[in-house]
Amino acid sequence: MDFLKSMAIAASGLRVQASRMRIISENIANADSTASKPDSEPYRRKLLSFSSEIDRALDARIVSLGRVKTDTADFRMKYEPGHPAADANGNVKYPNVNPLVEMTDMREAQRSYEANINVIGATRRMIQRTIDILKA
């Protein structure tokens, strides 16, 4: 495989995983937020998809950010009759975000990011070794 292709593929992975970590961070930050009024909805968890595309300049398949959509799962309900966002029954809608799932996804994204950094580092070392061999 070409060195430039390796770098382009790994760089696209870095960009996608960085975007993934931003979306996950937003989900975690809003995990306990509620709506301002009883008849409105709280924050909905965002889901990220990936897509594959061709970099025609390098003739390589790279990963790119797909659509960001909202999770249609049900909201968590808690009985809190004194809350400003409580409905007539005293129930408050909380986001459909599970912090444990989000932290697991964050670790996975972090590991994927690190793997792409390692690919770029290894490619740079191979390029340097090639230059050193050609100099000798």
Q: How far is CA 66 from CA 15, 43, 75, 94, in A?
A: 12, 21, 25, 27
Select from 89, 92, 90 the least CA-distant residue to 78. 92
pLDDT in tens, the chain (136 residues): 588 889 999 999 999 999 999 999 999 999 999 988 888 899 999 999 998 888 888 788 888 889 999 999 999 999 999 899 999 999 999 999 999 999 999 999 999 999 999 999 999 999 999 999 999 8
User: Three-state DSSP class for 55?
Assistant: strand
- How far are the Cα atoms of 15, 46, 98, 120 from residue 54, in angstroms, in the given order? 16, 26, 35, 19
For 33-62, write each residue's pLDDT tens digit: 998 888 889 999 999 999 888 888 878 888
Predicted TM-score (pTM) of this structure: 0.85
User: From CA 132, how far away is CA 136, in angstroms rounded?
Assistant: 6
Q: What whole-number distance in Å separates Cα of residue 89 and Cα of residue 107? A: 38
